[in-house]
Amino acid sequence: MGDVVHALPMATDIARAFPHARIDWVVEEAFADIPRINDVVTRVIPIALRRWRRRPFAPSTWRQFFAARKALRETRYHAIIDCQGLIKSALLACMARGPVTGFGTKTAREPAATLFYQRKESIDPQLHAVERMRRLGAAALAYPFTGTDDFGLHTRLAQLRADPPFQESGAVLLITNASRASKLWPDENWVALEYALAREGKLSLLPWGNAQENMACKHRVAQMQTARLLPRASLGQIASLVSRASLVVGLDTGLTQLAAAVGAPTVGIFCDYDTASVGLRGSERTVSLGGADKCPKVEDVLAAVRQVLAPSAESAVR
């Protein structure tokens, strides 16, 4: 999901350089709501690779695969850009009709993916993920790389209709789950943080995405003072909520990246990745704490909360 958020400014760049361009976006079905709320994306083509892998021989899997392949081949594209640099994303790119551009071997996350590209662009792998993707788009379509990151989420996001509690304004969102254990922050830290926020009259809400995360969040909420567990939600509903949130504190996940992208005051807690490569981008009121093997302390997070909530907060710490 983080990769999807990181690629949003590239789509905005393309639309700015070519105002009449049609931009189609191929994305894992679970994350399709994100490009759907981007202001410049013309069409979203959901792909269910994760679900297909669980049932590779089921007739429904093959029907859906061939339907997706047909959708990919309906249009002859001027350019196809693989933003992920993975073998699976490169293979999907090759299923569409048109020349494929991707990262060179030093930047692609799986160097074998470059075997499927007609054009390979050498981009500094030490750059932040957002800048790497923006530079890839500029190189692929020969337009100048200029300007600040624009995630292009405001127009369509403002048009989203959400039911309670996803239309609440002023709530605090605590994003406590992550895809890997190495990204997690200790539960006792989350409890201490929520107590400090509750003492200031702030209500914290905890989202979750699957049954395991639901159980983990229930365990955390039971130890907290006033926090509530959110009901099951789509990404569109979460995006609507974070756009109205007074504060988001989250782990190194796509949801935290999305919060910063929609402009919410956001504190990111990073425990196993360098913030120079994947730190928060988007809102000026962001702080990215920690890094590889650097687990932030509760007092560090509280200081960052005060920083992003300060009326004079003007710059991000990355």
Q: What is the pLDDT of residues 102-135, one digit of tens each?
A: 999 999 999 999 999 999 999 999 999 999 999 9
Q: Which residues contact residue 298 at a Cβ distance below 8 angstroms, ignoring those fewer than 6 apart? A: 189, 192, 193, 196
Pairing mode of beta strands 80-81, 43-47: unpaired
Which pLDDT belongs to residue 315?
43
Residues of the chain below pLDDT 50: 314-318
Which pLDDT belongs to residue 313?
52
Instruction: Give the whole-angstrom CA distance, residue 167 versus residue 185.
Output: 28
Q: Residue 265 burial (CB < 10 Å; 0-12/13-18/19+)?
A: buried
153: helix, coil or strand? coil
Instruction: Give the whole-angstrom CA distance, residue 297 versus residue 38.
Output: 35
Instruction: Give the whole-angstrom CA distance, residue 227 versus residue 14.
Output: 41
- CA 91 to chain centroid: 22
Which pLDDT belongs to residue 162?
72
Q: What is the pLDDT of residues 16-41, one digit of tens each?
A: 999 999 999 999 999 999 999 999 99
Q: Which two tokens stand for residue 318?
A: 């990355």
Describe the strand order of the beta sheet including 228-229 as a list of residue ranges. 228-229, 204-206, 172-175, 247-251, 266-270, 286-290
CATH architecture, domain defined by 2-150: 3-Layer(aba) Sandwich (3.40)
Which pLDDT belongs to residue 168?
72
Q: What is the pLDDT of residues 66-96, one digit of tens each?
A: 999 999 999 999 999 999 999 999 999 999 9
Question: Can 2-150 and 160-309 be said to share one CATH topology?
Answer: yes
Element containing residue 72 per DSSP (H, E): helix 59-72
Q: Which two tokens stand for residue 105?
A: 């071997």
Which pLDDT belongs to residue 159?
79
Q: What angle do CA 202, 208, 211 make, to 5 degrees?
A: 140
- Which is it for the CA torsion 33, 35, 38, 43, positive or negative? negative
Which pLDDT belongs to residue 122?
94
Instruction: Give the whole-angstrom CA distance, residue 180 versus residue 190.
Output: 17
Q: Where are the domains of the chain?
A: 2-150, 160-309
Which pLDDT belongs to residue 29?
94
Question: 160-309 in CATH: which number?
Answer: 3.40.50.2000
Instruction: Give the whole-angstrom CA distance, residue 280 versus residue 256.
Output: 8
